[in-house]
Structure 1
Amino acid sequence: MSAELRKPTTDSTRLLDLLAAHEESIRAVLAAAGITDVWIVGPLADGSARPDSTIDLLVRFEEHDHAHAADIAQQLHEITGTSFRINSDSGGESVAAASARQGGVRLDEIAATYAARSEAYYDELSRAFENGEFTVVGDIEIGPAANRKR
């Protein structure tokens, strides 16, 4: 199976749920800071987050006020209880271009991206089973019937 179709880790899903639970407060902090464009990069973007992963954001400041990135990360930490790293556009490269280079996902699109990746992962897994690319070793029980007594 392709690496791009990797199922998001449990920690990636946990962090995504955390973002969703605090979305309104996170957006308020980012808007108050003059951040106009937000991309998630790093382990959360590619679905490989671990328990110690930070949420890495690549942002564009309205006024190019990069000095407050650490303060913004601290505010987001206080809201969510997890660590953030704020990186800003630099060198004239657009946030979208830099994010694409880093495998990023727009904050607004992260949930849909995870859903599409999970669906593609399971479609590819089903195809691989049908084509005999996997060998079952030992008992395997899937679904509600797994709880039935024999």
Structure 2
Amino acid sequence: MRATLKSIEKCWEKSDQDIFIAAVILNPLYKASPFSSSVEFMTAAGVWELCSRLWMRFYKEEAPIQLYRELVSYLSNQDRYEKLPDHIWRETALAASENKSVDPMSIYIAMTNLVNPLPTPLECLARHLLTVSANSASCERLFSAFGLILTQLRS
């Protein structure tokens, strides 16, 4: 058991932790629920710092202040995100009826303003983060398949 935990911690240290943490927080199905309340970054200010660092990395510019306002609303289910639990319930029920898993982006899409469909800064960041694969298994499968195809005999 200790060897497994040590291996997981070693992999976690190598990973891009900010991206994975932000992807969990911006997934409306989870938000902050997987994290302990004692984790120091689990405040609106901490999430803002995390997201603003990622915004700078992805877009090479300072994060817009609108992102901060949206994050606060999103984390507290206020303003635009007041109906978020309803959207989550509907999307979960729809996915269950189709025997599929819930796509977190479908929840953001359901909340898109029909009059002004341009994505908000939070939606832009969520789209960027929620497309990240949480593991490298698919890449490793491709390399394995490629290794079976590209052999000395076939070359």
- Say yes or no: TM over 0.5: no
> TM-score when scaled to structure 1?
0.29
Higher relative contact order (CA 8 A, sep 6+): 1
